[in-house]
Structure 1
Amino acid sequence: MPAPDHDQPKVIAEATEGIGSLTLNRPSSINALDHDMVGLMAAKLAEWADDPQIRAVVIAGAGTRGLCAGGDIVAIHRDAAALAGTDDAAATASGSAEFWRDEYRMNADIAEYPKPYIALMDGIVMGGGVGISAHANTRVVTDRTRLAMPEVGIGLVPDVGGTWLLSRIPDELGTYVALTSAPLNGADAIALGAADHYVPADRLDEFRAALATGTVEQALADFATPPPASALAAQREWIAEAFAADSVREIVANCRRAGRDDVADTIESKSPTALAVTLAALRAAVGESSLREALVREYRTSVRCLQHPDLAEGIRAQVIDKDRTPSWQPSSLDDVTAEAVARFAAPLAADLELTYP
């Protein structure tokens, strides 16, 4: 893996021995994605998809901290602070909306990639990092993996196809992950169906070398090992019962009845609006026919989050000022109306919708 270098591009693309390698190269920010990076990645993936000399693609993150910590949250904060209370036209014209349009299109292309697309989900994999890895046809986790969709903690709703992925995890474990922002280790990710193969982190370099000299199947056979037991999957019985409810308030009450006040308290610390919209989004995703359809809905929701004060406030509290004391509007689940929730997924004007080339 190339060493991080400030003189190098933010995405390092290399093609060797039939393997196309994309390395996200912003280690100081745990390889957070920005719009330029999405454009570079999408162009290279399209090129390699049509290149008969490339038989597989590998995506990884520079440094040791993780594949990708998500999108450029500071840039999103600037837009959210400026756009709260505005209309759809203003929000969709923002840099954040332009970034999401191209990012979501790339997520859809990754899910349909015609060659082995091997995502090395080592270390931190959050938000946008999930979008470039969990839709892959070959998902590799390690003993260092920490995968999470923490959006409700900053007033956002899981995107990059996150509601599509989480809604399809059995026994409401995906609902649990979405509403609590609980991180998954490598064993959890495999047990929940968010990853496919477990390779010890100290053997990743050997695994990558094997990809260059043999087949993907043989490299996985040589280096993938059975994962440890998943502590989260072991809790599926009580989670399946508690998180099947139709409202976040009922889920919180169910958690308390199950003696899981810690989980209830964690949920109640998140944005009430983001929680309610997230639960509605997960239920809607179950009935959708494709990731592309889900991404259209998620784009609408992300745009509406820019217009809601909780997004700017949540990022301020968690990332900018780091006081961890957001002032949510409204502050209680009881005050989030069904009408307010429905607006987040309501269609945009036709010329503002996410479309695919």
Structure 2
Amino acid sequence: TLAQWATDDSVATVAIVGAGERGLCAGGDIVSLYNDAISGDGATSAAFWFDEYHLNAEIARFPKPIVTVQDGIVLGGGIGISAHASHRVVTERGRLGLPEVGIGFVPDVGATWLLSRAPGEIGTFLALTAASVGAADAIEVGLSDVYIRSERIANLLAALETTDAGETVMLLSEDQGEAPLRAARSWIDEAFATDDVDEIISRLRASGIAEAGQAADAIVAKSPTALAVTRESLRRAAQLSSLEEALDQEYRVSLRMLKAHDFTEGVRAQVIDKDRNPRWEPAGAVETAVVTAFFDPLDVRELGLAARTAT
């Protein structure tokens, strides 16, 4: 659809909104991914991610304005279809996050590109704690651009039919208030400025700050493998030169995460059986060689976005 609209002179601006009242998008269908991991060969999941990541890149490079309305729940895949747009509007109802490490997976959909470029270490904080944030923090992190109250979204969409997108968005935007994460930067930057997850947890505990202790508790409950691979993903993404390169990397990691024990165990515990008691393997430190193997070139078809963009 985007490909068609890119060359359609009757389309000046694209707006992406959620269906219904709950939110923009709560993410991908992880039960389908789980079933493919348990009883399939992974081909269905690979095809889904292949299309999804190409869509994320297409949104980022679309030649016309795309206005995304981050109203309500915006998680995982919802970040991918909204946070790469040219005009990202968040409301007071917006709750944005990347909860993947809680199910033994990793932030994807270009999130490693975005989070690795957030101020200080707040991107790492969000990735490893799986925390969700409101409007002010979403703007601070770089997942959103402007704050517009939900009651004004109908006016926004109506105005976009006749008015320039940038002008309309700025006209309706308001002050989002102080970002709590900005005030927490001192202890976040200190604790997360290391590649070692166990060291991050130790620093959080040692800080004596209540919020830092809560962050440590959140991290400890997550998959050690997913945490280690996520930290390495962000470190590597920070050195890449394009979103397309980051998506290529995420594709390799996602395919391998699908076959890892902790993904199916995490989904089982959180969604299938709902016992909230995942049994991670390993339950502790993850060997460096195990982590780096997630990033090796694939034996099957690569995503190929960076090569396609270069040509």
| Alignment partner of 2:81 out of 132, 143, 157 | 132
Stretches of structure 1 lacking an aligned partner (at least 5 in a row): 1-43, 84-89
Q: What CA distance in whole angstroms lies between the structure 2 residues aligned with 1:110 and 1:222?
A: 23
| Alignment partner of 2:295 out of 345, 349, 354 | 345
Q: What CA distance in whole angstroms lies between the structure 2 residues aligned with 1:146 and 1:249?
A: 28
Is 2:230 the counterpart of 1:278?
yes
Contact 1:171 1:237 in 2 (8 A): no
Q: What CA distance in whole angstroms lies between the structure 2 residues aligned with 1:250 and 1:79?
A: 35
Deviation at 1:283, TM superposition (A): 0.2
Contact 1:192 1:233 in 2 (8 A): no
CA deviations on 1:171-200 (whole Å, 9 max, x unpaired) are 100000000001010111111221111100
| Alignment partner of 1:80 out of 37, 40, 52 | 37
Partner of 1:57: 14
Deviation at 1:237, TM superposition (A): 1.1
Deviation at 1:100, TM superposition (A): 0.1
Contact 2:136 2:179 in 1 (8 A): yes
Paired letter, 2:37? A
Contact 1:124 1:145 in 2 (8 A): yes
Segment drifting more, 157-166 vs 73-82: 73-82
Q: What CA distance in whole angstroms lies between the structure 2 residues aligned with 1:261 and 1:103?
A: 36
Partner of 2:156: 207
Deviation at 1:140, TM superposition (A): 0.3
CA deviations on 1:110-153 (whole Å, 9 max, x unpaired) are 11010000011111001111000001111000000000000000
Q: Give % identity.
A: 52
Deviation at 1:213, TM superposition (A): 2.8
Contact 1:199 1:224 in 2 (8 A): yes
Q: What CA distance in whole angstroms lies between the structure 2 residues aligned with 1:256 and 1:266?
A: 12
Q: Secondary structure at the match of 2:180?
A: coil
Is 2:125 the counterpart of 1:168?
no
Partner of 1:187: 136
Contact 2:67 2:89 in 1 (8 A): yes
1:20-99 paired onto structure 2 within 5 Å? 44-82=1-39, 90-91=41-42, 94-99=43-48
Is 2:292 the counterpart of 1:354?
no
Q: What CA distance in whole angstroms lies between the structure 2 residues aligned with 1:307 and 1:70?
A: 20
Partner of 1:309: 261
Q: What CA distance in whole angstroms lies between the structure 2 residues aligned with 1:160 and 1:192?
A: 16
Paired letter, 2:238? V
Deviation at 1:229, TM superposition (A): 1.1
Q: What CA distance in whole angstroms lies between the structure 2 residues aligned with 1:262 and 1:215?
A: 44
- For normalisation by structure 1, the TM-score amounts to 0.83
Is 2:101 the counterpart of 1:152?
yes
Contact 2:115 2:141 in 1 (8 A): no
Contact 2:13 2:66 in 1 (8 A): yes
Contact 2:87 2:166 in 1 (8 A): no
Partner of 2:252: 300
Q: Secondary structure at the match of 1:276?
A: helix
Is 2:78 the counterpart of 1:121?
no
Q: What CA distance in whole angstroms lies between the structure 2 residues aligned with 1:317 and 1:146?
A: 23
Contact 1:285 1:294 in 2 (8 A): yes
Deviation at 1:230, TM superposition (A): 1.0
Q: Tell me the matched-pair count.
A: 303
Partner of 1:257: 206
Deviation at 1:228, TM superposition (A): 1.6
Deviation at 1:223, TM superposition (A): 1.3
Paired letter, 1:75? S
Q: Secondary structure at the match of 1:157?
A: coil
Partner of 2:196: 247
Q: What CA distance in whole angstroms lies between the structure 2 residues aligned with 1:297 and 1:215?
A: 35
Q: Secondary structure at the match of 1:163?
A: helix
| Alignment partner of 1:230 out of 162, 176, 179 | 179
Q: What CA distance in whole angstroms lies between the structure 1 residues aligned with 2:213 and 2:184?
A: 15
Contact 1:118 1:140 in 2 (8 A): yes
Q: Secondary structure at the match of 1:281?
A: helix
- For normalisation by structure 2, the TM-score amounts to 0.95
Partner of 1:31: none
Contact 1:117 1:138 in 2 (8 A): yes
Contact 1:80 1:309 in 2 (8 A): no
Q: What CA distance in whole angstroms lies between the structure 2 residues aligned with 1:118 and 1:262?
A: 35
Q: What CA distance in whole angstroms lies between the structure 2 residues aligned with 1:100 and 1:325?
A: 28
